[in-house]
Structure 1
């Protein structure tokens, strides 16, 4: 199936080709036609499945030509984090420019000064916002919701677990009754199910089942090593195994930056990716890694699901993730498309118990050995 068959306008189809998108993802195939038809949609799809574009493109097409009053937006997208707000707006903006009459999109969120955001609210058509900051802007009369034609709740499961239910209730009371509602979530939890019953009117469900990661092609090995020796061991293994492309996972932004700095100081082409990096910086680093310009890419679990490289030969767990499921997602970045890959895990004494739990959940016993003999510099 192609994008042409989904009912998108020629302007948007041209923009898709310009951005080298030729085929829709499963969630895009399921959701786009019904959103274009004006129906309420419940979309269930994991992070990295293309769900933002699944609602962005049809909404742009539906909203084109609708005149908006000053500070009266026509579409509202609510998200749980500032990173997602910026990411979503960056999907809307280039495709909006392809329209005969472009729609103005803006992202607003807490953790940044509110005054510049207030000044830029003039003539905004599509607002991507975190709930708390949106309520602050409403209280300051910087934005009004009475003309909203479409409401999107993106990553609704995370929004509810982060305690935004009270703010959501306040916002819903300010919206007009007649509008299109779209709710996207990675999971259909009890809370999300309750929310969709209240929010959605005779919805169409677009659900893409998450397949279990295929790890049978992945060679796994673990090394028991003290925390202060992990960096030296990592560099030794990269040299010994002649790694030309390796994705390294850490559990915090601090550790990602620390490991990346050490690699660069030792002459290894490396970059870091985490939530505190701008979307542009993250895109650039990922592109350089995929093209082979970088030997190493150091990341938090931000990339555990969002990166797809067919021939990635090595993944290193510098630290263990919180859950066994996240571990499987991490190592699943290698061993793809029937190509073998190797996953190496460094386990400190403090992580030994958690390492056993992960293996038990995977139902796999990973060969784990003590620190190998080598001559660190």
Structure 2
């Protein structure tokens, strides 16, 4: 099915061609008509499946037929868990709104940077992309109003709720008009998400796109049994032996991420970290370097991994296993994208073996486990 059959305008279809979008992904194919029809939508599909464009395109179409509000109100509110995702979503709105006959102003607001420029930029905003904490600060300062919101989007809703945003979400929802379109997109369907669906969504179109086994098949998975004290030396051995030029390493905590980077740098392996304790500017610069192939190793926590979207990333390494099998699949899904093969390597300590068996069972795939000599 081509994009032209989904009800999008010629301006948007032209931009899709310019941006090398050839055909809609399954989540786009199903979501776009539902959102165009102003229905509530719950979309469950893995990261990298095109969820952002699946709501950006129809929202922009609907805005062309709306009376765009003035002053410090917005028509559309998109809530996201991280600064990086806020910037990504804003950029996609801006890319597709360029050729539209009726201008659409999009702004991303988030913490970690000065609030004053964001306050000033809110004038005339139509699409507001926000992290919950900063949005509440702006609401407390009467810098923005949400009474005219026609469409609410929760992007990465599973992570937002798991990260303890529930109280902030409840405060934000109290500012919104009851009559609105609600769109929830998530890579996974957790119990928390099911609970909030019952509160937010009205007769939603539920779209669940099964994980594409072919994309998992593109990922060569292997695990090495390594004691915790030998994981650092073995990681350096792997990177050097396999001559990895671009590798994403996942660790479980901010402290562990920084420790790994320090050891890599001391051993003359170019590495940087990305986590919630870093400034926005630092995180943006680090991601830019890594995406451009100018940084050899990026070490990240699970949350920050949500902002890393690279079509041809060759290696992902799990320095430690995540607690959730779903997070494991999300991690390794950073590679093996856009029909390009990738390698996912896990360093599994003996006491993690049982948990790794659970991950394999949930994933539906067996992973080759190798002994190490180190």
Q: Same fold (TM over 0.5)?
A: yes
Moved more, 362-371 or 152-161: 362-371
Match of 1:358 among 351, 356, 359: 356
User: 5+ unaligned residues in a row in structure 1: which ranges?
Assistant: 373-377
User: 5+ unaligned residues in a row in structure 2: which ranges?
Assistant: none
1:140-179, aligned counterparts within 5 Å? Answer: 140-179=141-180
- Say whether 1:9 aligns with 2:13: no
- Say whether 1:92 aligns with 2:81: no
| In 1, Cα distance between equivalents of 2:373 and 2:152 | 54
Output one character per residue of 1:343-375: Cα deviation in whole Å (capped at 9) or x when no partner.
54445xxx4312342135425585443434xxx
| In 2, Cα distance between equivalents of 1:194 and 1:98 | 39
Aligned to 2:43: 43
Q: TM-score, normalised by structure 1?
A: 0.79
- Say whether 1:58 aligns with 2:62: no
Q: Tell me which structure has the larger Cα radius of gyration.
A: 1
Secondary structure class of the residue paired with 2:292: helix
For residue 54 of structure 1, report the CA deviation from its aligned partner: 0.9
Contact 1:221 1:366 in 2 (8 A): yes
Contact 2:222 2:367 in 1 (8 A): no
Secondary structure class of the residue paired with 1:85: helix
Q: TM-score, normalised by structure 2?
A: 0.79
Over the aligned positions, Cα root-mean-square deviation in angstroms equals: 3.7
For residue 59 of structure 1, report the CA deviation from its aligned partner: 0.7
- Say whether 1:25 aligns with 2:31: no
Aligned to 1:375: none
| In 2, Cα distance between equivalents of 1:242 and 1:70 | 55
Q: How many residues align?
A: 364
Secondary structure class of the residue paired with 1:182: strand
Secondary structure class of the residue paired with 2:52: helix
| In 2, Cα distance between equivalents of 1:280 and 1:44 | 27
| In 2, Cα distance between equivalents of 1:367 and 1:356 | 13
Contact 2:247 2:313 in 1 (8 A): no
Output one character per residue of 1:204-233: Cα deviation in whole Å (capped at 9) or x when no partner.
222212356746973624153563x54443
Over 3 Å counting, the alpha-carbon distance change for 1:335 and 1:86 in structure 2 is closer
1:1-377, aligned counterparts within 5 Å? Answer: 1-64=1-64, 66-211=67-212, 214=216, 218=220, 220-225=222-227, 227=229, 230-243=231-244, 246-252=247-253, 255-256=256-257, 259=260, 276=278, 281=285, 284-285=288-289, 287-289=291-293, 296=297, 298-301=299-302, 302-303=304-305, 312=314, 314-331=315-332, 343-347=344-348, 351-359=349-357, 361-362=359-360, 364=366, 366-372=368-374
Secondary structure class of the residue paired with 1:202: coil
Moved more, 241-250 or 72-81: 241-250
Contact 2:225 2:350 in 1 (8 A): no
Over 3 Å counting, the alpha-carbon distance change for 1:317 and 1:72 in structure 2 is closer
| In 2, Cα distance between equivalents of 1:216 and 1:67 | 45
| In 2, Cα distance between equivalents of 1:93 and 1:283 | 20
